[in-house]
Every structure is written in C-alpha cells, then in structure tokens.
Amino acid sequence: MHKFIEEKDWQGNAEALARHALEWMRIKRIGDPSFEPNERLVRDYVARGILSKPERKGKEAIFGFEQLAQFLACRAVIEDGWPLSKISEDFRVSSMTEILSLIPGEVVQNDALSLVENFKADALFDREPSAPKQPKIMASMSASDEGDIPSFLKRRRESYETKADIKEVLRRFGSDFGNVIREDFTAYQLASWLVLLMDRDKARDITRQEAEDIGRGITAALLNRGSLTKADRHNYTKQMKDLSSLDEEKRAMEYDLSHARAEMEKLAIEIEMRKEELSILDEKLRRADET
C-alpha cells in the first residue's frame, strides 16, 4: 500500500501541492469528498503561517514534503473543529513528528523518525528571517525559565489527539454520530419512578398547547403495542452501518476510477506519441528505399 512517508522527495509549485494534497485527502478520507483545494488556498495558508515558506527557485516557489504534511494535518484538524488561528499558532511551534501524527493513520515509526531527523532545524519552520524561531527559543530556555510553555503545548496536543480519536471511539461504541452531541436538559421528576427530560430552552418557552401535546404523545407511546423492539432497532442500526460502509467503498472506487482514467489518458497520449514516432521512422525508411 502506498505510504505517505514515501512522498519525502516530492516537490512542486502551489498548484501541484493543491492537486497532490487532494489525492491524499481522498486516500486518508479527510474532509468532505467534494472539497477541492486550490493554489489560492495554499498561498493563504502560507500567509497565515500554517504552511512553512516554500523554497525559492528563480521566480517560482517550490513546495515539498513538509508543506504537504502540514496541509493534510491542517485539513484533518479543521474537520475536528479547530479554527485556522489556533492551527497556525500550534503549527509554529510543532515538530515534524507532531505534524505527521495529526494525519489520520500516520503513526510515526522508525522510517518517519529518520526522515524527521534529516530535516535541518533552520529549514523546518522558517517563518520570519529576522525573528528567532520558536523551537530554538524553547530549547535554549533553562528549566526554571520554561514556565508553563511545555505543559500548555502538551494540553493543546492532547486536545488535538482527543478530537482526532473521538470518531473512532464512537464507532467502537456503535454510535451513529460523527461527534459527541452535548444537550442541556431540564428534569421533571413526577414520581420516584418517573422522570421527564426536556431540552432546557424548550422547557423555558413551552406553550400550553405544546405541553398538552406532549402529554398526549407520552400516553400514545406508553399504550402503543406496535412500537419498535430492540431487535428492530438493532436491524435498523445494522442497515445504517452497512449503508455507511457501502458509501465508503463507493468513494474509494470513485477515487480508483478517476486514477485509472488519468492513467488511461496518459497511455493514450503515449500511444499517440509512439504512433507519430513510427510514422516518422516509416517515412525515413521509405526515403532510404527510394535512394
């Protein structure tokens, strides 16, 4: 299987970065499948400090593995609800190992660690040429000068990891939700064996008609002999999971199909080129025979 770490030698301009990032976003199932990054977004992320500055080669800005990893990590944490300002603040003081750990399915192992070690410290996060780099400042601090900086970064990293893990945890629970839903309820205990829970805002603004409708609804629910059983709910949940699985398989097949079409287009172009070469060669042979 194609590993992201194998992209360590990748290079390209802003347009190529957007295009290549899209391929990996689909592979990693990051974000809405209909979302397509573009060159303008790449340059915006550079301006915000989310992506480190690219290398200049003449008049062109060349991006590499570092910016590709930062882009994917950024899109992954955006999906978990993090604003760009916080992502930029965190990325400025994050190591490449930490950046890679934010990409779904990327457990930084020996090959990745060796790659990270090969990155020069001056090239990792070259933000402002005239300003000292944050990692160096932290490294030069004494234990007494560090204060709360390490614990602050640790808390933020743990918060990132918690948000990234929540979807997988909910899947293991068998939840139908993609994230935790927080609700504030008002509880009405009518008897030791009877408690009515209602949304707090709704309970505050409820009308007499709505209260009466709730009473009738509860009566109907208690006397309804044709209500769904646990087995019905189990079957329904299983069907929803099967549909979700089929949807994921569909997206994967669509990606494979688009990749296959691109390969077919390349082959078609190569075939045309070979035909042209054969035509030229045939013409040369014909002229040689005539002479």
d(CA 100, CA 113): 10
Please give the mean pLDDT across all residues of the chain: 77
Kindly tell me if the per-residue pLDDT of 176 is higher than 70: no
Please report the pLDDT score of residue 48 as a whole number: 92
Kindly tell me if the per-residue pLDDT of 182 is higher than 80: no
d(CA 281, CA 249): 47
Between these two residues, 72 and 251, which has the higher pLDDT value? Answer: 72
Please report the pLDDT score of residue 243 as a whole number: 80
pLDDT over 70 percentage in the chain: 73
d(CA 53, CA 75): 18
Cα within 13 Å of Cα(255), Cβ side = 16
Using an 8 Å Cβ cutoff, are 164 and 80 in contact? yes
Between these two residues, 134 and 103, which has the higher pLDDT value? Answer: 103
Of 43-52, 55-64, 167-176, the poorest mean pLDDT is in: 167-176
Kindly tell me if the per-residue pLDDT of 129 is higher than 50: no
Residue 105, CA distances (Å) to 3, 18, 29, 131, 286 in order:
10, 20, 10, 34, 59
For the stretch 96-119, pLDDT in tens is: 888 888 888 775 554 544 555 455
Choose among 150, 47, 21, 155: nearest CA to 93: 150
d(CA 100, CA 112): 9
Helix or strand (DSSP H, E) at 198:
strand 194-199
d(CA 168, CA 262): 33
Kindly tell me if the per-residue pLDDT of 145 is higher than 90: no
Token representation of residue 148: 């709360």
